[in-house]
Amino acid sequence: MPKNSRITIGLLCLSLTACNENIFDFEGEQHVRVYQDDQAISCEDTGAVSVKTHGKLLIDEDIELHCSQKGDDGMSYTESCGSQTGSINIFTIHDKDLGTAESLGFSRLSTLPDAQFDAKCEYKVISDSKKYALINQLDEQHSIWQANKTANYQFQFNMSYSDCPTFVPTPIVTITVNNDAINTVYDINNDTFLSNISQYMTIDELYSELKLQLQLTPIEAGLNVNEQNKLPKFSNTGIPEQYYINAGREECDAANYTISDFVIL
């Protein structure tokens, strides 16, 4: 469906009270929004369940997502540190998958009459055709990588953000992998080995992360922030050399991934 038609349908839906309360039509199919509480606590930076974590529960059951977003349940809570917040994770799925989603602990968003969320989210994300073209490319390249991979290798890696102007630039690092697990991460910029390496990934783990982000349906994806219409770049052995995904759910989630200087050990 042309993008303008999608927007027209979306605006029409937004003008009807029932659109937020029950099943709604999107691109000729019946959809429903579901949610789970993210268990966030006031004044705590950790502990909240991410959109990605809840979304993976649905994806692992082969439930297609047409939007993934943070929202608020619209209820009032005690305003003090340590109290519950109204933050929730919201997903747009096919109506036929509602029963499975409910068995995983999700509920209809329509049960929260004052919920706050982006009602136009479904019209802001990448199209289904682009989403599945990128997933197919990723699967094909992963197969090439699997056919050529080794358990011991080294590569330079960097991940920067296009939507986070105040964020301290992440360093360029050299990641060493032994027996398919990260052994060391060396910060080239500061000439030091990092002690906390939990945020870094092997190439297989990066493939899994990229596919999950695509399945969550981002608002942007492509080669880089300025060339989103170009496909991401891979080496002839299936290494993802340049990839851009903007989840669009919060600041600092428009990620640019780059890999270079791959060496077999």
> Tell me, what's the pLDDT at 24?
60
Any bridge partners for residue 31, and if so which? 24, 94
Q: What is the residue-wise DSSP string for 145-194?
A: HHHH--SSEEEEEEEEESS-TTSPPPPPEEEEEETTEEEEEEETTTTEE-
Angle between helical axes of 128-148 and 203-215 (0-180°, round to 10): 170
Each residue's pLDDT, cut to its tens digit, for the chain (265 residues) gives 344 444 443 443 433 333 444 666 655 678 999 999 999 898 887 779 999 999 999 999 999 999 999 999 999 888 888 888 999 999 999 999 999 999 999 999 999 999 999 999 999 999 999 999 999 999 999 999 999 989 999 999 999 888 877 667 789 999 999 999 999 999 999 999 999 999 999 999 999 999 999 999 999 999 998 999 999 999 999 999 999 999 987 767 889 999 999 999 9
- CB burial string 96-135: b at 16+ within 10 A, e below: ebbeebeeeebebbbebeebebebebbbbbbeeebbeebe
